[in-house]
Amino acid sequence: MLLREDLEEIWFETHDDITLLWHGQAGIRVEFVQVKSNNLSSRWSVKSITHRDNGPGSSLLEKSLFQYRCKEASTFRIVTAYDVHADLELLKLEISSRPCINDSDNLKALVTKIKQRFGGDIVVPESGIGVDFWVDNCRWDKRPDDIVQVENHNKLLSEQVFKSKRVNLVPEHRDELYMKLLFLVKEASSKNLTTFPGCYKITRRYLNDWFDKTQLLLSNYSRSDNPLRDKMQAAGLPDPLVLTAEDLHWRYREARLDPDYYGGPTAFKRLEDEVMSFLPKLQSYQYSLSGSFDSLQFHKFCIDEVYKIIEKDRLSEFSLPEHIAAGFFYQVTNRCLMRFTVNS
């Protein structure tokens, strides 16, 4: 919601029911979301989504379909940690990127298979829609099945929010803001509606205001809201270079949270170890070379040395790009472990 201007509201109805209100050119679209974290013995299939625990209306598909109780245009989403069987694979495509039932034999076969499992069509009395509509307007959203990957994915999105809002908090305050956001969601989904009516709704305006106030409060506890910029400006480095350094710092943080980026966590750990082991030399050069270099030249010297690190045998197998090495070096600077001011 902090990244999407078309997402107007989120409603938390129960522990696994979420409603999203999207605003587009055609007006409001309501998306009914079901979140499932079941420990299954196999992938999700037609059999599992039509299985009834307690008679008619208790299957996953029926629960999703019967959420349709409004006049606005509506779609459905199923979010799971487990992947789907081949017969549901088409549902993983974006609705706008796949054919409709009338143009797809595979989707027609899926509808037929579902109806056979139910012994006929399932129709919502208020709207008259059935299985055909659900298949045509449902997207299956497969998420990571490991909690660490889920957290990294969420923090990667957080980094994009920080970048878009030009927010620079120290790592521990970034983590604290993330935890506060989780608590905000928990409260919205668990408060007593009688005591706190409307607490289940989070609007885009409210969330943006909450984020801005929370990050401002946390930044007041920091020594600086942007140590990297402060240290580069204190060294008299030109503004374009400072902006480039900030951008590379953001890019590094985003890539660090992406498990599929080049060599993943192993590659980043080796890079960080190499840079940190070389850091004392750079810190000593700051004084031993001070008579030969000005701040701009010393900065260039540091970056050139950091670029050499990724060419080492321990890192060459990962082919990490130079900007990632520079990004981590600026991360080190942002943690106040490096500066570029030299004594003339």
Q: What is the Cα–Cα distance from 286 to 302, expressed in whole angstroms? A: 9
pLDDT of 163 above 80: yes
Does the pLDDT at position 43 exceed 60? yes
In a shared domain, residues 247 and 277: yes
3-class DSSP state of 302: helix
Residues 14 and 138 in one domain: yes
**Alpha-carbon gap, residue 126 to 140, rounded angstroms:** 25
Q: Are residues 79 and 115 in the same domain?
A: yes
Over the stretch 267-312, which tens digit does the pLDDT of each residue have?
888 889 989 998 888 888 877 766 678 899 999 999 999 988 888 7
pLDDT value at position 342? Answer: 78
Residues making up the chain, counted from first to last:
344
Q: Are residues 134 and 33 in the same domain?
A: yes
Is 138 found in the same domain as 11?
Answer: yes
Please compute the mean of the pLDDT values over residues 6-28 and round it to a whole number. 86
Structural domain tally of the chain?
Answer: 3
Residue 160 located in a structural domain: yes
Per-residue pLDDT, 285: 81
Q: Are residues 252 and 272 in the same domain?
A: yes
Q: Which amino acid is at 67?
A: Q
Q: Which one of 88, 113, 142 terminates a domain?
A: 142
pLDDT score recorded for residue 320 = 81
CB pairs under 8 A, 24+ apart, for 43-47? 43/82, 43/83, 43/84, 43/85, 44/80, 44/82, 44/83, 44/84, 44/85, 44/88, 44/140, 45/84, 45/85, 45/87, 45/88, 46/85, 46/87, 46/88, 46/110, 46/113, 46/114, 46/117, 47/117
- Determine the pLDDT at residue 222: 57
Separation CA 206–CA 65 (nearest Å): 30
Q: Are both 248 and 198 inside the same structural domain?
A: no
Nearest C-alpha neighbor of 341 from the set 309, 314, 302: 302
Asked, for residue 285, whether it belongs to a domain, the answer is: yes
Whether 61 and 155 share a structural domain: no
User: How does residue 25 score in pLDDT terms, banded at 50, 70 and 90?
Assistant: confident
Give me Rg for the CA atoms of the chain.
Answer: 26
Residue 2 included in any domain: no
Using an 8 Å Cβ cutoff, are 79 and 67 in contact?
no
d(CA 102, CA 65): 20
The pLDDT tens digits for 216-264 are 888 766 555 688 888 899 999 999 999 999 999 988 888 887 777 777 7
Is 317 a domain residue? Answer: yes
- Out of 114, 142, 170, a domain closes at 142
- Answer whether 28's CB lies under 8 Å from 22's CB: yes
Chain mean pLDDT for the chain: 86
The answer to whether residue 339 is domain-embedded is: no
Domain boundary residue, one of 142, 173, 204: 142
Q: Is the pLDDT of residue 14 over 70?
A: no
Query: Is 343 inside any structural domain?
Result: no
> In the structure encoding, which two tokens stand for residue 203, read together?
């609007």
197 and 262 share one domain: no
Is there a domain that residue 113 lies in? yes
Based on the fold, state whether residues 86 and 201 are members of the same structural domain.
Answer: no
Q: Are residues 231 and 247 in the same domain?
A: yes
Residue 1 lies in a domain: no
- Check whether residue 43 and residue 90 sit in a common domain: yes
Q: Quote the pTM value.
A: 0.68
Per residue in 104-150, pLDDT (tens digit) is 899 999 999 999 999 998 888 778 889 999 999 999 999 888 888 88
Domain with 155, as residue range(s), is 147-219
